[in-house]
Structure 1
Amino acid sequence: MNCITDVKDKITKLIIKAYQNKASDLFIRENMYPYIRNNLGKIEMLEDDFIKDSQMISFLKKAEQLSDFLSSLDFVITDSDFFVSVANINCRCHFYKTIKGRAIAIRLLPDKIPSLNKLGLPESVKLLADKKSGLIIVSGPTGSGKSTTIASIIDVINQKYNYHIITIEDPIEYTFENKKSIISQIPLGKNITNFSESIKSAMRENPNVIMIGELRTLEDIKIALFAAESGHLVITTLHANNAIDALDRMINYEEKLNLKNLLANTFQAIITQKLVTTKEHKVLCLEILLRNNATVSCIKNEDYTSLINIMKSTPGMMTMQDHFNMLKEQGIISKEINL
């Protein structure tokens, strides 16, 4: 973990101010005002003071993980992900370039890993921490809390079982303390530059659980499925809006038949989540697909209509729309809000 302790640094001050304002994100662009995404998901200006080029460079240089990429003040690299802790505030950062100059998108992470109860996840999701092998996928759009859900599941496993857990992330977001388990957290970097290589390496390190930050490529998917088939519990994220989209993302390749059978034989759950903004807060809306004989058969036969009906009618499972309607009936989401 890279720690920045100089609280006099301009961008460090902005991170602290964003945290005090309960923002989820801070947007820094040189020669422009800093903005935050507030606790209701709205973009608003944090200060009416331009970010200077020198302030941007100073912060990036303090983030030691970037030092290997800095050959000059012009920055040869065009984008990079990195993790820093600023005044005990954990931040996931993405450095990139725009037509107007350098920019950093900074995600402010919670102080502690929230419990599954606090996240509002049902019992059927909590029980996934007891699975010994197979594939658990948490999907959803960017900013829907996928990493937090996975971290919470890992934390439950860490408290209950004497396991070796390996996490492969780009970048590392939550840092874990060994409880009953030992946890090895591996960032992608100079030595291993992609998830598929990291998964292959992790399988030689005798883990019980492999957490993969994201499945990005066909090779990642194939190696993750192989790891799950080999008796490991594999937990990962995917960008998909619902369970059916997630299935398509996993198998819609030339090797479809083999991938489909591997997925059907190994999957334990596909959880899709979306954050719905109300006037007062954000509400987690879920779709949950779990493994049973019927869902395995539907995946093998690509019978997605029946799969949706099973999710709608089976305890522990739900469609996104049904959960959204339930939250409306409970008065948690007002009737004028649409999914």
Structure 2
Amino acid sequence: MNILDKLLILMFQQNAESIFFIEDLPPFIKYKDGKIQNLVDEKLDKEQIEELIKIFLTDKDRIELKKVGYWLGNYTTSNNLTFKGICFYQKNKLSIVFYPAIIESYSINELDLPEIFIETLNKNKGLIIISGPRKSGKTTIFNASIEYILNNRNITLATVEDFIEKEFNNSRGIVYQFIVGKDYSNIKEVLNIIRRVKPDVVAIQEIVNYDYLSLALDLSLSGLLVICTLNADGIISAFEKMAGMAGDQKDNVFRYLSMVLEILISGNLFNTTENTLKYVYDFYFNDVEFTKNIAKGDITEVYLKMIERREKGFRVQEHTLKALIKKGLIKEEEALLKASRPNELKKILAAPF
């Protein structure tokens, strides 16, 4: 067993969150409560870092690392534990971070999502955006959506990913998984192959910049169903992040979103008093009342309308959190700590209704 496997297994056994290998620092692990512990006193030098890299990167991967400056991927130890990893440069020195890739599989029906979400997965076109901060459950919903489509529809589905986090199998539907940076060097090449294999559904692992956002809009405007994730906390932040990516194309992006956006769900996981996790989310779905506001980029008005029309199925986190606090299922301090909009939550909690 190599030294990397031994250290990763140790980190996993100690239920730590992540392990770090940084040049000129001792290797250390970080626990879920934020505590950091050095594994040894010795600092790692450049040669030791490069020897570690040889364990999990191929010659081709190492060339790519030097070319683009980072590597993302999975590594499986000799006892079949899988870890997500990132290798990158900082201050012209190499750093490596690994954390457990615990991918829990849920069916879409186990996730307590609105019925209209599942109905939309059966549509032939449109855009579904699953948003949230890190460790908020968005990947779980994304994977469950893909599994649902593959198991229930006679379609072809293509994924666009930076690295393969979960391998999907053909069922009623056929799946292709394209890796940007390995199978194809850029988004333009991915778009070209998608146009040739002609999938019915495209799932984009994460919208990380304007190229990915443009891809999602282009494909949904062309009549495909597109599902993607976005790292943003709350529906307002999700729209604002897309606006920031778009730059001087902001007006066009919002106009296109008003035409294709079917669902935007953005939530987080909250610890309950019953020692369970509860997914609390904002939920927008396509409605003619909102399209003019989205086209204008008037996101505050969209949020206010969602509050007014929550009895129609729209949902904002604040009302769900207030109900859970009243039932004693979530502590107020936990809610305020993790809420997308803590100031708005304070107002809702103070209101008599």
Amino acid at match of 2:74: F
Residue 274 in structure 1 maps to residue 271 in structure 2: no
Larger RCO (alpha carbons 8 Å, 6+ apart): 1
- 1:119 Cα deviation (Å)? 4.4
The CA RMSD over aligned residues, in Å, is 3.0
160 and 190 in structure 1: CA distance in 2 versus 1, 3 angstrom threshold? closer
1:44 to 35, 39, 45: 35
Match for residue 138 of structure 2 among 146, 149, 162: 146
Equivalent positions of 1:75-154 (< 5 A) are 78-86=69-77, 87-99=79-91, 101-154=93-146
CA displacement at 1:102 relative to structure 2? 3.1
Distance 1:263 1:170, change over 3 A: same
Q: Which moved more, 1:233-242 or 1:167-176?
A: 233-242
Tell me, yes or no, if the aligned pair for 2:267 and 2:281 is still in contact at 8 Å: yes
Quote the Cα distance in structure 1 between the aligned partners of 2:328 and 2:191.
44
Secondary structure of the corresponding residue to residue 332 of structure 2: coil
From 254, 257, 263, the equivalent of 2:257 is 263
1:310 paired to 2:302:
no
Q: Is residue 169–residue 186 contact of structure 1 (8 Å, CA) maintained in 2? A: yes
Taking structure 2 as the reference length, the TM-score comes to 0.80
Cα distance, 1:228 vs structure 2: 0.3
Letter of the aligned partner of 2:284 in structure 1?
L
User: CA contact under 8 A between 2:26 and 2:38: conserved in structure 1?
Assistant: no
* Secondary structure at the counterpart of residue 284 of structure 1: strand
Distance 1:17 1:327, change over 3 A: farther
| Cα distance in 2 for residues equivalent to 1:214 and 1:94 | 16
Q: State the alpha-carbon separation in 1 of the partners of residues 188 and 280 from structure 2.
A: 31
Structure 1 residues 144 and 258, CA gap change in structure 2 (3 angstroms) = same
2:19 to 9, 14, 26: 26
Report how many residues are paired. 326
Q: How far, CA to CA, are the matches of 1:283 and 1:35 in structure 2?
A: 28
What's the CA shift string for 1:209-244, capped at 9, x where partnerless? 111122233333233212101111111122322223
Q: Secondary structure at the residue paired with 1:255?
A: helix
Taking the aligned partners of 1:115 and 1:37, their CA distance within structure 2 comes to 30
Residue 63 (structure 1) aligned with residue 60 (structure 2)? no
Indicate yes or no: 2:288 matched with 1:297. Answer: no
Q: Does 1:206 align with 2:201?
A: no
Separation in structure 1 between the aligned mates of residue 201 and residue 254 of structure 2, nearest angstrom: 22
Structure 1 distance, partners of 2:281, 2:304, is 16
Alignment-derived partner of residue 165 in structure 2: 173
> Cα offset for 1:76?
7.1
Consecutive unaligned residues of structure 1, counting only runs of 5 or more, are 1-7
Q: Which residue of 2 aligns with 1:5?
A: none
Identity %: 24
Does the 8 Å contact 1:35/1:43 carry over to 2? no
- Alpha-carbon distance, 1:34 to partner: 2.4
Structure with the largest fraction of helix: 2
Unaligned runs of 5+ in 2: 340-353
**1:131 Cα offset (Å):** 2.4
CA shift for structure 1 position 12: 1.7
Q: Distance in 2 between matches of 1:20 and 1:158?
A: 35
- 1:154-173 matches, cutoff 5 A: 154-173=146-165
Pairing partner for 1:336 from 319, 333, 338 = 333
Mapped partners of 1:128, 1:221: distance in 2? 20
| Greater displacement, 211-220 / 114-123 | 114-123
Cα 1:23–1:332 change in 2 (3 A) is farther
Which of 7, 14, 27 matches 1:14? 7
Q: Is the 8 A contact 1:92 1:171 kept in 2?
A: no
Over 3 Å counting, the alpha-carbon distance change for 1:297 and 1:85 in structure 2 is same
Report the Cα offset of residue 16 of structure 1: 2.7
CA contact (8 A) 2:187 2:215 kept: no
TM-score (norm 1): 0.83
CA-to-aligned-CA distance 1:276-308 (integer Å, 9 cap, x gap): 456845543311111121122331244434422
Relative to 1, partners in 2 of residues 1:305 and 1:159: Cα closer, same or farther, differing over 3 Å? same
CA, structure 1 residues 149+13, in 2 after alignment: closer, same or farther (shift >3 Å)? farther
